[in-house]
Structure 1
Amino acid sequence: MTSTVALSDEIKTVFDQVYAAWAAGDADAFAAVYTDDVTVAMPGVFNKGRTAVREHMAAGFAGPLKGSRGVDQPLDIRVWGDTAIVVSRAGIVLAGETEVSDDREVRATWVLIRADGQWKVAAYTNTPANR
């Protein structure tokens, strides 16, 4: 049996992969961490499927997200078998900034599944953080 600590480390690795891809501006590597049928819902955005996520991020990396980095601090990780829910404090640090501005801080909810021994993002949503 895998310990909860080990599972948390495995899940945090998903975040490392997402944000390494973001820092590189690599939409393919970013989308590779998501399931084929992922859903992503954010204010003004709904993407269904890995291809839609890749296209959305490619456009962002070529435009308003160029030179930015995403940050994410898991606040709560709950695992039930091959499913995990992670609630995090997150945001985007734009090029030239050193931290997430208050108006871009969000609370995110990630649903991850483990298939073939690998964790993938099956659903993601965020909402502006309460101030």
Structure 2
Amino acid sequence: MTSSPVAEAAAPYDSAVREVFREVSRAWAAGDASAFTAWYALKASVVLPGSRLEGEEDIRTTMAGAFAGPLHGTRRVHDIERIRLLCSDVALVHTSSATLREGQREPAPEQREKVTWVLARHHGRWLIEAYHSSPADPA
């Protein structure tokens, strides 16, 4: 069986893209807004139900407040469902994600969100350009 050139080229990116999710989750669990937004591009956008954040500074300020308040002691999990390279420096990622409260091991179905991410390489480093979250259908 032979592998396609596209599959071979995607392998190194898969690991690097997955690393972004590990690091963002680690920063979230630590409540570190600066480490969290270090994985976002300067002009990144975040779309959440009912709100939109524009740019790294807006994301950092919002997350710092959230980590000090309602998200204090939480952690974020991302189950990567698909990584698709749009070109060698841009990846589209679909995840099933959830925010877990302290002591919670697994998310309840109603906690799940379907998330679409756009990541791009900047000087060899993958950064989040766009994030869009929508509640998952628990059915």
Q: Name the counterpart of 2:26.
A: 20
Seq. identity, %: 36
Deviation at 1:66, TM superposition (A): 0.6
> 1:42 and 1:101 mapped to 2: Cα distance?
19
1:20-59 deviations in Å (ceiling 9; x for gaps)? 1011110000011001100000102210000111111111
Larger Rg: 2
Q: Which runs of 5+ in 1 are unaligned?
A: none
Larger deviation, residues 90-99 vs 53-62: 90-99
Larger deviation, residues 14-23 vs 1-10: 1-10
> 1:3 and 1:82 mapped to 2: Cα distance?
12
| 1:61 equivalent among 67, 88, 91 | 67
> 1:67 and 1:44 mapped to 2: Cα distance?
24
1:36-87 deviations in Å (ceiling 9; x for gaps)? 1000001022100001111111111111111100000110100121000000
TM-score (norm 1): 0.95
Q: Name the counterpart of 1:114.
A: 121
- Contact 1:93-1:101 at 8 Å conserved across structures: no
Q: CA RMSD in A?
A: 1.3
Q: Name the counterpart of 1:70.
A: 76
Aligned-partner residue type, residue 18 of structure 1: V
Larger deviation, residues 43-52 vs 94-103: 94-103
1:97 equivalent in alignment to 2:108: no
Q: Which runs of 5+ in 2 are unaligned?
A: none
Deviation at 1:4, TM superposition (A): 1.4
Q: Name the counterpart of 2:134.
A: 127
Q: Name the counterpart of 1:51.
A: 57
Deviation at 1:17, TM superposition (A): 1.1
Aligned-partner residue type, residue 106 of structure 2: E
> 2:107 and 2:72 mapped to 1: Cα distance?
15
Segments ≥4 residues shifted beyond 6 Å? none
1:82-101 deviations in Å (ceiling 9; x for gaps)? 00000011010012322222
Query: Match of 1:3, SS?
Result: helix
Query: Match of 1:97, SS?
Result: coil
Deviation at 1:122, TM superposition (A): 0.3
Query: Match of 2:21, SS?
Result: helix
